[in-house]
Structures are given as C-alpha cells and as structure tokens.
Amino acid sequence: MAARARRIDEGNGGMDLGLAGAKALVTGASRGIGRAIAETLADEGADVAVCARGQEGVDEALAALSAKGVKAVGSAVNVADGDAYKAWIESSAEALGGIDILVANASAGPGGGEKAWTKNLAVDVMTLVRGMEIAQPMLTESTRASVVAIGTTAAFETFQGATSYNAMKAALIVHASNLAHVLAPVGIRVNSVSPGPIFFEGGPWDLVKQHMPEMYETALAQQAGGAMGTPEDVARAVAFLASPAASHISGVNLVVDGTFTQRVNF
C-alpha cells in the first residue's frame, strides 16, 4: 500500500477551525499538496486564490474549489518570475477583498547542478520573501493573519545526498521562524510545515515507485506505520496552523511524516 487510507470522513465538511470567510492565497495549488491545501481551506469556508504554472491545472482547481460554495480565483503564474508573482498577489487580494492567509507551497523540487540551486532559491525561498513584500501590509490589516511555508523533512535530516532542494528548504524554514519573531508585534503568525514522503498519483513518490523501486521500498520501510502520507495529511496540518484555532502558535515547524525521521524533537 502506497498511502494509508484517510481516517477522516470525506463528507464531514471540514474541521470547524474558524476559517469561514477568510481570504487565502496558495501557491503551486493545481495538484498534490498545494491542491489539497486549497481544497481543505475551502472546505473550512475560506475564499481561495490559487496559482500554478499551467492554466489547465488552475482551471481544473478553480472548478473544484468553486463547487464548494466559496469564491475561488486564480491564474497561471511562474512564481520564479518575481514581477508576475507579485502582480498575482495584488490582483488576488483585490479579487478576494484582502489577505488573511498566505501559503508558500510552490517548489522547484530536487535537481542537480548550479541551475538547480538558482531555481530552488527563486522558487522555494523567494516565494515567501517576495510574497511577504507584497502581502505583509494587507496581512497587517487582518485580525487573523497567518503565513505557512511548506518545507520538507529533507531540510533537517540527511536525505539523498547534498542537494540544493534540502538546503533551500532549510533556509525557508529558518526564514519563516525569523519572520514569526519579527512580525508577532503586528499580529502576523508565521509557521512552517515539513512533510515526509507524501504519495499521490502522478506525484514524485509515484514516479520513484515506477522508476526507482529500490529507493521507494527503502523509504517505505522507514515508515513505522507501513505507509506514506497523503496530501490531505499535510493540508489539515496547514489549515490548523493557518486558523484562529492555532492563535498562540507561531515560529513552529510542524513535521508531518508518520515517524519517517529518526530525530527526537524537544
């Protein structure tokens, strides 16, 4: 089994986290973890703006989100293009009527060579940096402002060698923690969520399973529960941290890995 069955009823309508009417922006939200985050926030009653590189994926996501009875807007954006990304934030805030939540989910993923370092910096780290440059004034006006950055367990426990993805995700987590301390006086909470291996059809671990079965089986064997996580596992953690239910939680890196990592957190 690649991913465990969901323990929460698909038809429960949400967790009642106090997110009704919130205005949320989610990057990289056409599939996988980002899509699950957008849908979970919508299930909680939040209006959602999404972006991804492909318009077809964005359109599909918007149809699914709108069907939940919330306002959903979005467009195809390459977040590595700083000007285009900032323009998307501004237009999304205008369409939704403000910003309460910013989720920096977009990632360039693992790669090799100097180009990978540049790309991971531009996408994984600068999405949060540039996003806050534009969104911070609007978040300051919110009474429930929250920012969540999506990291990875590979940022703090050695995994698959010395890669730009691991290092840049570590930088993202550190920056999120620093922002939490700087922005607490103006009422903006900042947290990060670090998933372990997450399996979904067509996703990275599905591809690993198909093309590098030994690597897949090794990672699966590290899951004490016998299965990888799902995008919804991560999305529910994000929704909680983004919500008023977590109003006294800031500067935290919440690990969602089903005991994949071996370290002990104090």
165 catalytically annotated? yes
What was the pLDDT predicted at 13?
55
Report yes or no on 79 lying in a domain: yes
Listing from the earlier edge strand, what are the strands of the sheet with 72-76? 72-76, 47-52, 23-27, 101-104, 146-150, 189-195, 253-256
- The one-letter amino acid code at 148 reads V
pLDDT tens-digit profile, the chain (266 residues): 455 444 444 444 556 899 999 999 999 999 999 999 999 999 999 999 999 999 999 999 999 999 999 999 999 999 999 999 999 999 999 999 999 999 999 999 998 899 999 999 999 999 999 999 999 999 999 999 999 999 999 999 887 778 999 999 999 999 999 999 999 999 999 999 999 999 999 888 888 899 999 989 999 998 888 999 999 999 999 999 999 999 999 999 999 999 999 888 77
Report yes or no on 147 lying in a domain: yes
Report yes or no on 194 lying in a domain: yes
Structure token pair of residue 251: 């500067």
- Full-model pTM: 0.93
The CA-atom distances, in angstroms, between 96 and each of 55, 135, 161, 247 are: 20, 13, 42, 22
Report yes or no on 214 lying in a domain: no
Range of the domain at 145: 23-201+231-253
Report yes or no on 91 lying in a domain: yes
Report yes or no on 4 lying in a domain: no
Distance, CA of 37 to CA of 232 (rounded, Å): 7
Report yes or no on 206 lying in a domain: no
Domain count, the chain: 1
Report yes or no on 218 lying in a domain: no
- The one-letter amino acid code at 177 reads S
Give me the CATH number covering residue 172.
3.40.50.720
Spatial CB neighbours of 246, under 8 Å, sequence gap ≥ 6 = 146, 189, 191, 240
Catalytic residue chosen out of the listed positions 165, 200, 216, 260? 165
DSSP labels for the chain?
Answer: --BPPPSS-TTS-----S-TT-EEEEES-SSHHHHHHHHHHHHTT-EEEEEES-HHHHHHHHHHHHTTTS-EEEEE--TTSHHHHHHHHHHHHHHHTS-SEEEE-----S--HHHHHHHHIIIIIHHHHHHHHHHHHHHHH-SS-EEEEE--GGGTS--SSS-HHHHHHHHHHHHHHHHHHHHGGGT-EEEEEEE--B--TTSHHHHHHHH-HHHHHHHHHT-TTSSBB-HHHHHHHHHHHHSGGGTT--S-EEEESTT-S-----
Structure token pair of residue 80: 């590595």
